[in-house]
């Protein structure tokens, strides 16, 4: 691979389009037509650069039209896991010694190619995971950001680290070394961005990986892996193994050859991964590292001096964007009693104006939830919610053949209620009345999670109090609690929201590296 040019432009976030102009709308419509023409294709495993078929496949369905199969992905077997770990281990020997300029250069070329194929990746996600046009474009833009940002971060970490001068006649260095072979287990909800970001962070730091995508987003992942191979990624550096959680996921995590696990998903699965990874397999020579982001029960606090129109707009965008299927989504609005009724009126008005439907239509605001199991689980929560509060709007299925749920608001919810404590992962908002700001922060902190949160207030003293006391990894003041930008809002939470790693931040790549401290006595030997 060609070496990277010595001069690199400063990182800038990729802009997200609104599709207001005719040309961008026409391009997106054409991409949707092309993507629809690929429905029903079978996507093989990729092990050591070879495409492998097998006896079983997993269908990836269009959640807006579940009768449509976006693609069938080959289901990996335990033997495939064994083979993939073998080739990843072999590839690590050379990839870990590949100059960082070449590894970063691969990411920069991948970013450029994804940028050229924006509409294509958008179309895949509109069909495969039900994203609206703007949500899909934001996902693709974030994938580009991760590739660009982590390439630059790898180059930065390869520079000599500043150390205190030694009192001895010696030269001292700190170098970062890759860990080894990793399991990459991304979610479906950011089908391109998180999957690409987790993969890119691991390989740009010199590791090799086995990528187990979510079955609900495995077609998008297959196209990304194909893109990397087109660009010259050496065989075995990224191995693509769709499959179920037990056959592929747990086998990968438990194997002694796995050095680290990078996971984004539910709390239950994340805790199981942590438990399995903590067990030491015979012949294992390391403590496995787990990097996990596990969701939240995110709250927006609306104080008595808040701009209510801005607060209502922020809550609606945070709660119902992508049908509430972001780990950062607002699922609790905690509102001061003095403005409670006025806030409810405004937030209900805005919610009822949202258009629910097939996201192929650019006019749709809220698409489907991901699959039948999620659809049923959300309605189980709604049944509880009817008993735990006052239903203001929504609460039922929206028209259409897909997994459509009406954006739902339930008011007068007790802070200890099920719908105020458990992550629902759907378009359901619980509204809680509070007596004052201290009470609001106590309730906001009153779950096992700590991912994102927001506060609407004009009072500088309250803002300072929130900065000190609102225990979340990402806190936003007078704006929505979703939409973190790479490099701008390093993302990751506390408590049961994860392992405190910050995706898109200056310390994230350190999760995939180990430090080696070197001291060289001055005997006329030159080291660098």
Contact 114, 169 (CB under 8 A): no
The rounded distance, in Å, linking the Cα atoms of 376 and 399 is 16
The pLDDT of residue 526: 62
CA quadruple 438, 443, 444, 449: dihedral positive or negative?
A: positive
Q: How many CB atoms lie within 10 A of CB 191?
A: 29
SS3 426: coil
The rounded distance, in Å, linking the Cα atoms of 73 and 173 is 47
Among the listed residues 293, 346, 388, 406, the single catalytic one is: 293
Residue 119: name the closest of 195, 19, 193, 189 by CA: 19
Question: Quick one: tokens of 26?
Answer: 């026409």
Active site residue 327: yes
The rounded distance, in Å, linking the Cα atoms of 211 and 492 is 21
Contact 136, 122 (CB under 8 A): yes
* pLDDT > 80? residue 403: yes
* pLDDT > 80? residue 226: yes
Q: Could you tell me the residue ranges of all domains in the chain?
A: 22-294+501-516, 298-486
CA quadruple 195, 139, 325, 360: dihedral positive or negative?
A: negative
**pLDDT tens by residue, 420-449:** 999 999 999 999 999 999 999 999 999 999
* pLDDT > 50? residue 45: yes
Which residue bears the tokens 């401290």? 517
Q: What is the mean pLDDT of residues 227-251?
A: 97
The pLDDT of residue 284: 95
* pLDDT > 70? residue 507: yes
**pLDDT tens by residue, 180-220:** 999 999 999 999 999 999 999 999 999 999 999 999 999 99
The pLDDT of residue 525: 62
Q: Which CATH superfamily is domain 298-486 in?
A: Aldehyde Dehydrogenase; Chain A, domain 2 (3.40.309.10)
Q: Residue 47 half-sphere exposure, CB side, CA atoms within 13 Å? A: 20
Model confidence, pTM = 0.96
The pLDDT of residue 523: 84
Q: How many CB atoms lie within 10 A of CB 82?
A: 12
Active site residue 9: no
* pLDDT > 70? residue 4: no
**CATH for 22-294+501-516?**
3.40.605.10
Contact 508, 286 (CB under 8 A): no
Q: How many CB atoms lie within 10 A of CB 116?
A: 9
Share of the chain above pLDDT 70, in %: 98
SS3 520: strand
Question: Quick one: tokens of 125?
Answer: 């996600």
| Share in percent of the chain as helix, strand, coil (round to 5) | 40, 20, 40
What does residue 157 show for φ and ψ, rounded to 5 degrees? -70, -15
Among the listed residues 327, 330, 346, 406, the single catalytic one is: 327
Mean pLDDT over all residues of the chain? 96
* pLDDT > 60? residue 1: no
Largest separation between any pair of C-alpha atoms in the chain: 79
Which residue bears the tokens 């006329």? 524
**pLDDT tens by residue, 127-138:** 999 999 999 999
Contact 467, 420 (CB under 8 A): no
The rounded distance, in Å, linking the Cα atoms of 232 and 2 is 10
Contact 428, 445 (CB under 8 A): no
């Amino acid at each position: 691979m060609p070496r990277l040019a010595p001069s690199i432009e400063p990182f800038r976030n990729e802009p997200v389009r609104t599709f207001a102009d005719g040309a961008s709308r026409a391009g997106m419509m054409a991409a949707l037509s092309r993507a629809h023409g690929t429905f029903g294709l079978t996507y093989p495993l990729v092990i050591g650069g070879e495409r492998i078929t097998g006896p079983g496949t997993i269908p990836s369905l269009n959640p807006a039209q579940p009768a449509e199969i976006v693609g069938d992905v080959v289901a990996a077997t335990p033997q495939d896991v064994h083979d993939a770990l073998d080739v990843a281990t072999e590839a690590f020997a050379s990839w870990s010694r590949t100059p960082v300029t070449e590894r970063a250069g691969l990411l920069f070329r991948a970013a450029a190619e994804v940028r050229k194929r924006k509409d294509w990746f958008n179309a895949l996600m509109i069909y495969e995971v039900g994203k609206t046009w703007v949500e899909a474009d934001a996902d693709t833009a974030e994938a580009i950001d991760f590739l660009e940002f982590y390439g630059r971060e790898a180059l930065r970490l390869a520079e000599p680290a500043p150390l205190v001068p030694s009192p001895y006649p010696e030269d001292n260095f700190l170098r970062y070394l890759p860990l080894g072979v990793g399991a990459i287990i991304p979610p479906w909800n950011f089908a391109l961005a998180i999957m690409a970001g987790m993969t890119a962070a691991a390989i740009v730091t010199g590791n090799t990986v086995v990528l187990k995508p979510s079955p609900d987003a495995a077609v998008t992942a297959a196209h990304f892996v194909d893109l990397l191979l087109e660009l010259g990624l050496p065989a075995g550096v990224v191995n693509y193994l769709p499959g179920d959680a037990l056959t592929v996921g747990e086998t990968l995590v438990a194997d002694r050859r796995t050095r680290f696990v990078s996971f984004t998903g539910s709390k239950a699965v994340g805790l199981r991964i942590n438990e399995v990874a903590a067990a030491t397999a015979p012949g294992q020579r390391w403590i496995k590292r787990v990097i996990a982001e596990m969701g939240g029960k995110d709250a927006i606090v609306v104080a008595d001096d808040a701009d209510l129109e801005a607060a209502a707009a922020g809550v609606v965008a945070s709660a119902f964007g992508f049908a509430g299927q972001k780990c950062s989504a607002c699922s609790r609005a905690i509102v001061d009693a003095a403005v409670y009724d006025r806030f409810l009126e405004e937030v209900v008005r805005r919610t009822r104006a949202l258009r629910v439907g097939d996201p192929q239509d650019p006019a749709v605001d809220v698409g489907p939830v991901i699959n039948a199991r999620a659809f049923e689980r959300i309605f189980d929560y709604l049944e509880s919610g009817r008993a735990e509060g006052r239903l203001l709007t929504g609460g039922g299925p929206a028209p259409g053949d897909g997994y459509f749920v009406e954006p739902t608001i339930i008011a007068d919810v007790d802070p200890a209620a099920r719908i105020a404590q458990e992550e629902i992962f759907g378009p359901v908002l619980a509204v809680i009345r509070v007596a004052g700001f201290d009470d609001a922060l106590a309730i906001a902190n009153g779950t096992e999670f700590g991912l994102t949160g927001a506060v609407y207030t004009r009072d500088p003293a309250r803002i300072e109090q929130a900065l000190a006391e609102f225990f979340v990894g990402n806190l936003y003041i007078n704006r929505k609690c979703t939409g973190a930008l790479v490099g701008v809002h390093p993302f990751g939470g506390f408590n049961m929201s994860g392992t405190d790693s910050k995706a898109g931040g200056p310390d994230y790549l350190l999760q995939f590296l180990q430090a080696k401290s070197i001291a060289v006595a001055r005997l006329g030997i030159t080291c660098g």
